[in-house]
Structures are given as C-alpha cells and as structure tokens.
Structure 1
C-alpha cells in the first residue's frame, strides 16, 4: 500500500455545532485526522466525544459547521456515505452477530455490498483467513462469536473494518474489558494498521494509554475543544487539567494504625482449581489492593468471600468471629459487600429506577409487611446520594440514564446501605472518566478512614492500586505471590510482577 499523503487531512471538522433541544453538545468544534496517524480523543463523560464520533460516522447531522474529506467538502454525511469514505467505528458492544461464526461476521457486510443473495462459504473462509493473517492474529473461523472472549470479539470487529477497506478506524473505549496482555496486543495491531496507512482515532479515559499509543491528542470539555497538539507535549497532569479544568490530588492513601482484631481475615481459603491456601488480613481503615492477571484467582477469591463459591475450604473471619459465607445472604449478614467488575451486566437493573437499584441489597429495611415504604426508601436514597456525591435529577429516573461514574457510585452506595464493614471492589473505576475516578477514590478513602470500613480493591489499573492502597497483594496461579507496601509499593514493581505472573523475586508462583 502506498504511503498516505500526510499533507491533507483524511477528515476535517470545522466549527461543528450540534444541539439537542436546549443543550449544546458540540460548540464550534474543529478536529482534523491525518492519514495513517494514531490520534487520541480524551474527555470526561458528557464532554462531546460520543457526539463527535456520531457526526463523523454520519449518525448525527451537525447544526452548523463543515466536514471535509480528503480536503473536499463532504456535504451531508450519513452512515452509508461515511462508510463509503472508509470510516469505520468500533463501538464498545462491537455490533457483531453473536450466533454467527467468525467468518460470517467478517464477510457478511462485504457480500451485502456486492448484492449477493447467497453466502459463498469457501470464499468467506478465504477472505477471513487473509484479513486475520494481515492483522497477525489467529481465530477459529467456524466458532460462534458469542463463544469468544471479549478480546477475540474485538479482533473480529477490527478485522471486519479492515476488510471493508477502512481508511479511518474509530475505537471507542477499546481497552475497558481487556487484560494487560490483551491491551499490548491491541496496541501492536493498532501500530500495524498505521503502518498499512490506516488512521486510528482512539477514544479512551486511560491517560497512560493515550500517552503510550498516540501521536496527537485532542481534549474535549463541555462540548468544546480545550487542548490539542503532539502527544509528546502532554503528561498525565496536563491531560487531567484539560479534561477537568482543575488539578486532582494524587497523594497516596495512608491507613490509620491497626488496632484490635482484623476486620477481615482469611485463613487457608481454598476454592478447588481456582484459589489455593490463601491467608490474609485487613484491619479497619485499610485499603488493600490485589493485582494479578486474569486467571490468577483474584475474582474467584472475592466471590468466595462473598458467598458465591459455596464449598470452599478454610475460614473467613469478620471482626475476629468466624463466619460461613456459603451464599450471598450469609455474606451480607456478616457485613461483607461486593461491587462486581461489570456494573452493566452484573450489578445494575438498568431499566429500574435509581431508588430501586439503591435499596436492592437492603430492601428488607424498607418493607412494611408485603409493602415497600416508598417515602422512607426515597429518603434513604437521597441521603445516600449526598454521602456518595451522586449527581442525579431525582430518585425515580432509570439508573441507565446516569453517567458511568454516577452509576458506579450507586453501586457502592447500595452496599453501604446494608451496614457493610468489609467492601470488596472489583475494578472500582472501570469505564469512568478521570474526574469521577478521583471522586470515587476520595469517597472510598473517607469511608475507610472515618467509618472504619475495610476495603479490598481488585484492579488491572496499576497506578490506581499504587495511589489508593496502603498495601497491594500480588496473585498468580490461585495463590498470593508477594506483598508490596511502603517504599516497595511502586508501579514498576507491580508491573514486573504482572509481567512475570510470579513472586517479585522472579520465582514462579
């Protein structure tokens, strides 16, 4: 493929405005993407990122401004014209057909564009094998897409875009559900796409990824472009300042001095084939992290403590008393709470009201016989809003209408309404913007320090663990594989442990 002409933008937005009723989602936004460049778009939720993606892809028609493709006015874009211009968007849900095979998902659009009434299966397999080889990945062509892990489905979406002769691929929060190794593979593929002359607009909340991958960076805030330039001219503090309009504190959390019995203690906890002989303790006010690759046993450990792995062996103690969380109800009664990694599929009832979601774990407190005391439930929910600094118009709106950060705070607040003394957070800030992330961390610190909550924080985000935990435990192969605290708790040390999947001294776990 010939080298792209870097002199003329592949696509250019000039003074784009988009309004929804009385709300201005984009206010005179200009943005250019050069052929073959990796360009990162950053901003908090509600900053206009999703709106600009839909303008580029032709889903939204702007109310003002001009769009140019290859230096020529594009007129009114719609999805068909945008796709014909080589623009492909990979949304967070990937927009795949789950029951169709990998090969069918990859080639269906190509056959439809050709006007074919029948699928040529031999040609579909040949086309699919060729595009996957072009990306340097191997996927089972006959497997149903729904059987693939998240990273595999993402690769199918990327390969489909390449097969459609994409010149610009827009990736919307592509690393939200990926492990560290999967992110590395995605970055390698993204750079390979660039080498083939394909531009990538990478939309992310994760500042390390922006700095590591992109050549240019654009930041939106409140529907306006507030910063733009070569990525080399930014650091995390500068990106944060542009996104939020303020500097966010990054001081490490210091736990109060330990006194009395541990708030949570595990003795030789074992889940056959998943967790082996794990012993640990957390005192009131501690925020203790767990790092480890997918499959290390970290989530299985949390689920066992929360009563979702019945039949485990060993002992769980809360405030020095042995409890037996063989089901969720007994874990809640013992003062243990768990916020899952995926709030959308595992935690929230999206079509139900904010109030219903908030009281779900403590609904017995608001019952009058067979009836719900709605006034009392609404009052408790409003009090929780204040405690968790949740921004919402009221308690009756569907929880799905809230931003990711507010949804996550509803999840945490729900469990605190049960009177929990131990809070397990699995991926506490997945899919939330930098401002909401800082707010959630501050709330967790306050509850630990002032209310004596013991927090077990599981995260793939190494800076999150280093900045918010007084200790971090490494896991590998279902076992604890080292502890980091004080001067030894550094990002380099944790990254090395994750890379080795072993003890910090390099000995396999």
Structure 2
C-alpha cells in the first residue's frame, strides 16, 4: 500500500463573516489521483490556496508533508517542497517562450545571474520528455492552444520537481480528445510516484481517472471514499445533501422575431450563418469545441468583426462594430471565461455590478452617486440571490456560481432585449447549475431573448426551446428541443 504523502489535519479558515473551512482532515497517498469535489462555495478553492501557501489556516490546523509538519508555511516553502498548483488560468507568461515558461523557475532557483540559454533549453526539453510530448520551445506561449498551454504548465511543474500536483478544473476548456490526452499524462505522472489532487465538477471525468474521492460540503469534509464505494447519485448526495437532476423546462414555440442573422461569414472561423431569434425564447447553440460558436456570438456583440453578411434588429439592419454599440442596441454578452473577461477580480461585488451602467448612476459632472450605486447593488444581489450578501466582498472571494450571478447581474442592469450567455455553467457545481438555468428561464419568460452557447447537451435539452448545431464553422441543423435527444444533436455535431 502506498504511504501518505500529504496529510491535512484539523484545518479551519475564517474570513470576515464566513467560515470557509471547518476542521478539515484528509490525506493523499503517494502516487495516487485523488479527487476533491464539492459544490461552489464548499471550500475547495480555499483548501487549494492553503496547500499552495497563499492562505494560512487558523491555529490548531497543520499540514504534514512526507511525514514532516510544515511550520513556516508560505508560497515559496510550498514550491520548495514540490507542491505545485495549476490554476484554471495556468498563470503563464504569454509573451515568453515555451522554454522560458518551463525553465525560468528552476533556473532562477539555481542562483545563476547570467542566462545560459542552452541550460534552459535542456531543463525545458527534459520536462517535456518526461511527458513524452514535443512542443516548439521558441514559440510564444500566447500563440498556443489551451491544451498546449496546459502541457507547458505541467512541464513547468515537473521542472520544479513537483511531488504533489494540484489540478484546478483542468478540463474546463478542453475538447474530449484533449481530455483523453490529459488523462494519459496524469496516469504517467502517477506511475512516476507523483500525487495528483484533481479538482473538478465533471463527475464522469472524476470516475474515469480518480482512485479516491474527498467530498466537501459547506466548508466541511464529508469523508474520503474509494472509487468503488461511490456512484453518481451517492456522490451528488454527499456534495449537496439532496438528489439533483436537470429540470426540463416546458418548451415554447415563439414567432416574434427580434433578431435575424443573415449569411454571416468570417474566413477561417464561420461561414453562411443564418438564424432567427424570437422574443422570450431560449435559443441554444451547440457543437464541438472549435465549431465556431463563440466566434459567432462575439461577432454579434461587436468583439469579432465579420467579413460579410448582416444583422437585423427588429427588422432593421444594424452595424455593430464594438461592444458599446451592441449595448446601446440592447444586446448583452456574458463571456465563457468569467475570471478573465467577465469580472474585475480585485474589485468588490458592488464595483463589478455597476461597471456597465456607470453613466446612468452618475451626476451631471460625472461623479458616481453612491446612493444610486448602493441601491442598484442591493437590488441585483437580491434578485439573483448572490451569496454571501456582502457588497464590499472582493469578486475573487466568491464561489463560481455566485461569480456567474454577478456577471449576469451587471449585464441585466443594462436592461437588455437580447442576452447571449457563453457556457453559462462552466466550472459550476450541479446544484448551482439548476439555479442558473432557472434564472435564464425566468429572463426568457419576462420577454428577453436568450442565446445559450453550451457544450453540455443535457443543459441544452433542459433549458433551450430551439437548438442550432454547428460543425467546423457552419450550421448543420436547427431543431426544436421538444422530443430531441443527445444522439440527435451529436450526430449533427460530429
């Protein structure tokens, strides 16, 4: 039996007004893939930040690494011990090369003042060889796909002699094929004796790769279980204390066109995109990663110029060349990556909520009216049930589900006629998903036309009235969702 590498004992972490973790204890064995799972707000992110040395637990808690208690524990000590966290954004330098991103850390730790490019190349190539993968060492990281950037982040961890690798939602932006490759990498690392903590909301993936599961609920540890002790229903019950299923909403057939897209094309991205959007309906757009769904949405919102075609709003042709023009015409867009594109993480919930409507809450000389700002914030926090109800809390401190509510709120405050939501429940737990679905359905019933872009077919079938299926930049089918199944959609997507 493998020996324990990391043991978490009686960890508690408090923030003002919130107990994020309460008396958490669990252990990760050497050379195992250990799943950490729980709803948004359950405390997973706080636990990761304690393991990485960014947060300190309350007195009385401790972390035992390789049999030795960690006393003066901080981010540098964490790296020195071989504890490496790969966050969703990978924390890479996009302007530096693959080689520099992989080798810079260990090279600097070596105390060398002058750059020996050959030595750095050897460090980077050795790390990639361990993964049995090849990348152009001179390529800027910013030019790589998400999957290749993830490989760079893992290679960097190996170059830093990682013994305990924490992967935070590593599959959230990967295609199925890329997920399979990542799992092969994870298994090879496991064979090398490296321990992995796999944090994800995708239950099927957790069962496909994990040896054991530790479940968090409301800041408490519900226990650690072997894979054979769990099934989907029991795992979800442990996470949320209740059975969760997608609510299938009643489908509506509308005939009141608010927007029409005609022959929209952009070289290399999408071609001959034609569809109509009705008031008060939810139109789903789905397809495999790379099908061009997001690019079409960004073209409608003025983030992505198109080569030909036109957009009609309420029967009239419109030119939308930038997002501010889209907002003026009543279009709002919630991006897929809420952390990088949807929120200002270092600002408060209040500041994030009002950022799209500053003009409407400012006086004649351009100063923000604090009373209006507070009133608007309170209104949307209540409407979308944003928790905790602390307007001054930094957006970075919220769970994924509540961060998504903030992003929705800031755009709904613009009083849109059309709301485009890209992957609305990406990285959100099963309980919060149903709540986001209900919010979107309520919006459509209030008369707002909603476009939902999603890779999750059960999600599309649950909430959409119609669905557009895309493949390689083209629409392959348009169907009403009533009576539709996943196989019908998938056959047109692949």
Normalising by the residue count of structure 2, what TM-score does the alignment of the two structures yield? 0.88
Kept after mapping to 2: 8 A contact 1:180/1:460? no
2:279 paired residue among 281, 284, 298:
284
Kept after mapping to 1: 8 A contact 2:258/2:279? yes
Q: Match of 1:480?
A: 475
Kept after mapping to 1: 8 A contact 2:13/2:21? yes
Q: Match of 2:261?
A: 266
Measure, in 1, the Cα distance between the counterparts of 2:397 and 2:91.
Answer: 21
Normalising by the residue count of structure 1, what TM-score does the alignment of the two structures yield? 0.85
Q: Say which SS state the counterpart of residue 424 (structure 1) adopts.
A: strand
Measure, in 2, the Cα distance between the counterparts of 1:134 and 1:227.
Answer: 34
Kept after mapping to 2: 8 A contact 1:27/1:224? yes
Measure, in 1, the Cα distance between the counterparts of 2:256 and 2:349.
Answer: 36
User: Displacement of 1:487 after TM fit?
Assistant: 6.9
1:26 paired residue among 14, 21, 27:
21
Q: Match of 2:7?
A: 12
- 1:455-504 residue CA offsets vs partner (Å, 9 max, x unmatched): 11112333332333233322122210223544774344545555x3xxxx
Q: Say which SS state the counterpart of residue 10 (structure 1) adopts.
A: strand
2:133 paired residue among 112, 133, 137:
137
Measure, in 2, the Cα distance between the counterparts of 1:255 and 1:370.
Answer: 48
User: Displacement of 1:34 after TM fit?
Assistant: 1.7
Structure 1 unaligned regions, length at least 5: 1-5, 501-509
User: Displacement of 1:139 after TM fit?
Assistant: 1.3
Query: Is the counterpart of residue 388 in structure 1 residue 381 in structure 2?
Result: no
Query: Is the counterpart of residue 414 in structure 1 residue 410 in structure 2?
Result: yes
Measure, in 1, the Cα distance between the counterparts of 2:223 and 2:259.
Answer: 46
1:207 paired residue among 175, 178, 203:
203
Query: Is the counterpart of residue 221 in structure 1 residue 188 in structure 2?
Result: no
Q: Say which SS state the counterpart of residue 142 (structure 1) adopts.
A: coil
The change in CA–CA distance for 1:57 and 1:314 in structure 2 (over 3 A counts) is closer
Query: How many residue pairs end up in the alignment?
Result: 491
More deviation, 181-190/356-365: 356-365
Kept after mapping to 1: 8 A contact 2:36/2:44? yes
The change in CA–CA distance for 1:90 and 1:327 in structure 2 (over 3 A counts) is closer
**Correspondence list, 1:150-229, <5 A:** 150-229=146-225
The change in CA–CA distance for 1:93 and 1:15 in structure 2 (over 3 A counts) is same
Q: Match of 1:341?
A: 336
Across the aligned residues of Structure 1 and Structure 2, the Cα RMSD in angstroms comes to: 3.0
Q: Match of 1:436?
A: 432
Query: Is the counterpart of residue 239 in structure 1 residue 235 in structure 2?
Result: yes
Query: Is the counterpart of residue 94 in structure 1 residue 90 in structure 2?
Result: yes
Query: Is the counterpart of residue 424 in structure 1 residue 420 in structure 2?
Result: yes
The change in CA–CA distance for 1:211 and 1:464 in structure 2 (over 3 A counts) is farther
Q: Say which SS state the counterpart of residue 356 (structure 2) adopts.
A: helix
Measure, in 1, the Cα distance between the counterparts of 2:15 and 2:397.
Answer: 16
Q: Match of 1:35?
A: 30
The change in CA–CA distance for 1:34 and 1:401 in structure 2 (over 3 A counts) is closer
Q: Say which SS state the counterpart of residue 41 (structure 1) adopts.
A: strand
- 1:260-284 residue CA offsets vs partner (Å, 9 max, x unmatched): 4323322222234432111112323
- 1:255-311 residue CA offsets vs partner (Å, 9 max, x unmatched): 3232x4323322222234432111112323322221234442212211222233456
Kept after mapping to 2: 8 A contact 1:25/1:51? yes
User: Displacement of 1:20 after TM fit?
Assistant: 5.1
Runs of 4+ in 1 over 6 A off after TM superposition: none
Measure, in 2, the Cα distance between the counterparts of 1:43 and 1:168.
Answer: 20
The change in CA–CA distance for 1:98 and 1:489 in structure 2 (over 3 A counts) is same
- 1:297-347 residue CA offsets vs partner (Å, 9 max, x unmatched): 212211222233456533333344444434434433433221122233323
